[in-house]
Structure 1
Amino acid sequence: MRIMITGATSGIGYQLALAYARQGHQVIACGRNQAKLDQLITQNLNITSLCFDLTEYQDFPDLREPLDMLIFNAGDCEYIDDSLNFDAKMFERVININLISVAYGLEKWLKHINKSGRLVLVSSSAALLPLPRAEAYGTSKAGLTYLGRTLAVSLKEHEISVTTVHPGFVDTPLTQKNNFPMPMLINSKEAAIKITQGIEKGKSEINFPLVFVLLMKCFSFLPLSIWQRLASRMV
């Protein structure tokens, strides 16, 4: 297979690139740090790279060959610590990288996916439940999850499958900035294994760690007033 992965310079994307390359697939690793992409390439000859910034939509590269799978994995997280003094610029930054850049990527590359190919959107378990300080991150991931679910319907006639991924806490450079407890934390290699296994099974949604995501879904069934009282204790 020929697989394109955004956000491949670290974390889950890095491990996905290595995992698929070691399986013998041709991997196009995308990121904005050429030095890190070069380090990735030296580990496996099946990896090539494209260096660009996902927020610079006009600079998205053209593809010369078709894809069998396109994985949108890149993302960022910033928290709103003072919701009364809402930071619209920060909100815009997070929405742009986590959601709007995916839309431009779809416009540019979706038509290059072969029939019987697959689109993968790496969302977050944060999309399942309103969490304190996550107004920007949660909104972007909830939008990405909705996008994945709707594309799964509309792309069926084009014989393109869609998988939406909801990871819990994964130890990456992004989560290492968090200053709060992260229950059921797993490493990025474990996360990549869960994703590749789920894709191999043809799953439309991949949720892990399973117990963590099930707890999130159970909380989502609570009356909103009760959840708001519980969530307020996390602030």
Structure 2
Amino acid sequence: MNVLITGATSGIGEALALKYATDAHVFACGRSQDKLDELAQHDNITAVRFDITDLADIKQQVESLPEFDIVVLNAGSCEYINDAKHFDSALFERVIKVNLISLGYCLEAMLPKIKSGGQLAIVSSSVTYLPLTRSEAYGASKAGATYLAKCLEIDLPDIDVSVVHPGFVKTPLTDKNDFPMPMAITAEQAAQYMYKGLKKRHKEIHFPKRFTLFLKLLRALPWFIWSKLAKGMVR
């Protein structure tokens, strides 16, 4: 079985690559050559270096690879809009390009190489369940990723498409967060949730359930109630 994972040089992607490498051949993708070299020392892992914001680079590196049974589009970034009134359009563009536009690039290069009956997973975020303070860029990009995955589920009848909605996961990306992360789990725990969910071909994989189900419950509240609660979170 061949599994390709983007964003495999740290966090969830790295943990998932190591998990899959126990029973599959993993193509671990990223930009950091040092981290890729470390991963390539493990059995069943082939390092593939490209920039997810460069379509030509992706196509060049993926072209020579064999067909995939599973593709996990996991790479992404997180930045916050700290002052909405003085909106940072450069930050917004940067996050949208990494978290959403790059998905289109990867899909163009990789979809033709996914076997019939194979799987595609797009990693979104539980931030899509509810609008949150400072999340104009990150939330919008992940909401787009979720919608994209749902559309692909309809339009790709020969491929099983899953969307992943993690809660807080302790990774180098979230280490910079300056706010509490309730019910945060490790990258290894997140990888285990994803591995099990993909094995069962679940359409939505969300975790940890005690956190994501709570958010889904809050989503059922009338908007004026959630709006008032959310505004109370603004610094």
Shift of 1:57: 2.2
Corresponding residue of 1:130: 131
Corresponding residue of 1:180: 179
Measured in 2, the distance between the counterparts of 1:152 and 1:93 equals 27
- Residue 37, structure 1, aligned to residue 50, structure 2: no
Q: Structure 1, residues 154-178: CA drift from partner, whole Å, max 9, x if none?
A: 101xx10001000000000011000
Size of the aligned set, in residue pairs, is 231
Measured in 1, the distance between the counterparts of 2:92 and 2:47 equals 30
Unaligned runs of 5+ in 2: none
Measured in 2, the distance between the counterparts of 1:58 and 1:177 equals 31
Corresponding residue of 2:45: 47
Corresponding residue of 1:21: 21
Measured in 1, the distance between the counterparts of 2:82 and 2:208 equals 27
- Residue 121, structure 1, aligned to residue 122, structure 2: yes
Q: Structure 1, residues 60-113: CA drift from partner, whole Å, max 9, x if none?
A: 123331111111000000000100011111000000000100011101110110
Native 8 Å contact 2:119 2:161 kept in 1: yes
Corresponding residue of 2:68: 67
For 1:162, the aligned partner's letter is V
Corresponding residue of 1:10: 10
Measured in 2, the distance between the counterparts of 1:148 and 1:56 equals 21
DSSP 3-state at the match of 1:189: helix
Measured in 1, the distance between the counterparts of 2:215 and 2:133 equals 14
Q: Structure 1, residues 33-79: CA drift from partner, whole Å, max 9, x if none?
A: 0100111111x220001111111222112333111111100000000
DSSP 3-state at the match of 1:203: coil
Measured in 1, the distance between the counterparts of 2:80 and 2:89 equals 12
For 2:25, the aligned partner's letter is Q
Measured in 2, the distance between the counterparts of 1:113 and 1:6 equals 15
Measured in 1, the distance between the counterparts of 2:27 and 2:187 equals 19
Residue range with higher mean Cα deviation, 33-42 or 59-68: 59-68
Native 8 Å contact 2:53 2:105 kept in 1: no
DSSP 3-state at the match of 1:190: helix
Corresponding residue of 1:141: 142
Shift of 1:201: 1.0
Describe how 1:133-212 pairs up with structure 2 within 5 A. 133-156=134-157, 159-212=158-211
DSSP 3-state at the match of 1:133: coil
Unaligned runs of 5+ in 1: none
For 2:20, the aligned partner's letter is Y
Residue range with higher mean Cα deviation, 109-118 or 47-56: 47-56
Moved over 4 A (4+): none
- TM-score (normalised: structure 2): 0.96
